[in-house]
Amino acid sequence: MANIKVAESAGFCFGVKIAVDSAVEAGKKFGKAFTNGPIIHNKQVVQFLEGLNVKELKSYDQLKRGDTILIRSHGVPPKTERMLNQLGVNVIDATCPFVKKVHEKVKQLVEEGYYVVIIGEEGHPEVIGILGHLEEAGGKGIVVENMEDLIRKFPRRNKVGVVAQTTQNEEFFEEAVGYIASNVEELKVFNTICDATSVRQEEVKRLAKEVDVMIIIGGKHSGNTRRLAQISKALNPNTYHVEKADELDSEWFKNAENIGVSAGASTPDWIIKEVVERIREITG
Ligand code: F3S
Q: Which domains does the chain have, with CATH numbers?
A: 3-11+196-283 (3.40.1010.20), 14-96 (3.40.50.11270), 98-189 (3.40.1010.20)
pTM above 0.90, yes or no: no
Cα 266 to ligand 1 centre (Å): 9
Cα 72 to ligand 1 centroid, rounded to whole Å: 11
Pocket of ligand 1 (CB under 6 A): 13-16, 73, 96, 98-99, 166-167, 194, 196-197, 224, 265
Q: How far apart are CA 139 and CA 131, in angstroms?
A: 9
In this prediction the ipTM stands at 0.98
* Residue owning the nearest CA to atom 6 of ligand 1: 15
- Return the residue whose CA atom lies nearest to atom 2 of ligand 1: 194
d(CA 172, CA 253): 31
C-alpha 208/C-alpha 238 separation (Å) is 9
Q: What is the mean pLDDT of each run of 10 residues along the chain (284 residues)?
A: 93 92 94 92 85 93 94 96 95 97 98 98 96 98 97 91 95 96 96 94 97 95 91 98 96 96 93 96 92
